[in-house]
Amino acid sequence: MPPVTPADPTRPRIALTAGEPAGIGPELIARLAGEDLGADLAVIADARLMAERAEAIGVTLELEEFRLDARPPPGRLGIIDIALAEPSHPGSLDPRNARYVLETLAQAADGAASGTFDAIVTAPVHKGVINDAGVPFSGHTEFFADRAGCRVVMMLVARDLRVALATTHLPLAAVPAAITRDGLSTTLRILNTDLRRRFGLAAPRIAVLGLNPHAGEGGHLGREEIETIEPVLEVLRKEGLDLVGPLPADTAFVPSQLTGFDAVLAMYHDQGLPVLKHAGFGHAVNVTLGLPYIRTSVDHGTALDLAGSGRADAGSLRAALQLAIELAARPR
């Protein structure tokens, strides 16, 4: 048996959830397990699943039970073993394993809330199969918000580009009604607070996009800018927030414009994220702001067609881990 190495309090402890068992999450974690990224990692997953997926892609993976008082020796990965309901096969979804996925998220959330973990990094889940199992589920962001009992903001990061969302996983037809003065005010306060607290920006400058084409064209293309967005910005500027907008979304991402901002707030998912993913797909990171702990994730889905092939790129998971470690090390 390898000698026990005492835990190092200077190294962040990061919980990794392996996501949808039929997807690429388990093998991406297995691929990164042998790298020393400057943190102690604990994967929350089915141990047999992790071993099988590592073997399938030709990766040597040695697992040992996660311990608070010790860190695994080089080449071994700590694990909190959660049993699958049914054996999982690459690329083949099974609703019977939906509650297993949710249990891994719950254990990670509770561990981070208690201080066992300094951050959570999540591999992708499959929303559809969880809903098919009869469990309403709209995404990681909403799950962690409900578990923590707080309001949160989804933000994606690709190098120096940060795009946050006023609304997340909603049908497009539901977006205008979801953008309220109260909701937008809360979102901007959370974004401003966590840019300062988590990212160390003393006075973040935030670009706020309009909802409608040309930011409403003075009310001719919609009145949400006049009746909702502009009044909120006026109030928050008096509180000291540095907000610019509402800006037309089609020109706000021009590079010469972006250089003046620390973050962009888009009104809905597909207004801001296509630009960010075009700029940084494969190394972008999803960050949940407003939680009492750090949570980052990959910028891609479960890639069922690649599962078990060994061809999946671990770049986004590596970037999510690196950002989580960086944020965990920052004084707060």
Helix (H, G, I), strand (E, B) or coil at 167: coil
How many residues are recorded in the chain?
Answer: 332
Task: Check the annotation: does 127 bind a ligand.
Answer: no
Task: Check the annotation: does 269 bind a ligand.
Answer: yes
Give the burial class of 124: count Cβ atoms within 10 A of its Cβ; 0-12 exposed, 13-18 middle, 19 or more buried: buried
Task: Check the annotation: does 126 bind a ligand.
Answer: no
- Terminal CA-CA length for the chain: 39
Phi, psi of 54 (to 5 degrees): -65, -45
Task: Check the annotation: does 140 bind a ligand.
Answer: yes
Angle at CA of residue 227, ends 224 and 228, nearest 5°: 70
Helix (H, G, I), strand (E, B) or coil at 32: helix
Q: Which residues contact 222 (CB under 8 A, 6 or more apart)?
A: 211, 212, 216
Task: Check the annotation: does 214 bind a ligand.
Answer: yes
Q: Structure tokens of 208?
A: 């706020």
Q: Which residues are annotated as a binding site for substrate?
A: 140-141, 277, 286, 295
Enumerate the known binding-site residues: 140-141, 169, 214, 269, 277, 286, 295
Residue list, annotated binding site for a divalent metal cation: 169, 214, 269
